Amino acid sequence: MKKDEIVLKRPVSAMKESALAYRKAHFESGEKTIYGSELFDQIESYDEWLKAVTRNTKPETVDPNWVVTDTFFAVRPGDQEIVGIIDLRHSLNGFLKDLGHCGYSVRPSERRKGYGTQMLRQLLDVAKEAGLQKLQLSVERDNTASVRVIQNNGGVYERSFSFEGKEADVYGFLLK
């Protein structure tokens, strides 16, 4: 493992303080949305969020308005700091048809260090192991950092759409 390599870890109770610090870092940077967090930006209680995230990993317990989803913190092994969050949605419902199988965020102080690219690269392997054959991601066109993350991992432009008044592009990944 390289010095700055990260590992994807499922959220657990022991990560509570680190997770709350991660969320606070986004809020203190003026970001109200934490992409890929399964509403961690909207649920006050870490314990309630953890229960929901855990339920959403199984078809038998997933929220009926959602899809089976695996959520991971990107953790830097040396200091165990959470540098990002990423999720994998195993299928797309009507709401997600344009948004895609994955969302992710990187801690504001840790951006431009390659963590987003590492997170997505590792998630593509998780998706393959889960049996997905294709992964679809969307990105607002002006989010050049995320476009680079997607392209660095082999994402291929498929189409464009408009979401909440912003132009966005859909990229696809064929998983073999």
Domains annotated for the chain, with CATH where assigned, are 7-174 (3.40.630.30)
DSSP 15: G
Cβ count within 10 A of residue 105 = 25
This prediction has a pTM of 0.94
Tens digit of pLDDT per residue, the chain (176 long)? 455 689 999 999 999 999 999 999 999 999 999 999 999 999 999 999 999 999 999 999 999 989 999 999 999 998 999 999 999 999 999 889 999 999 999 999 999 999 999 999 999 999 999 999 999 999 999 999 999 999 999 999 999 999 888 899 999 999 98
- The whole-angstrom separation of Cα 101 and Cα 136 is 6
Cβ contacts of residue 51 below 8 Å, gap of 6+?
none
Per residue, the 3-state secondary structure of 82-149, as one string, reads EEEEEEEECCCCCCCCCCECEEEEECHHHCCCCHHHHHHHHHHHHHHHCCCCEEEEEEECCCHHHHHH
The pLDDT value recorded for residue 95 is 87
The pLDDT value recorded for residue 176 is 80
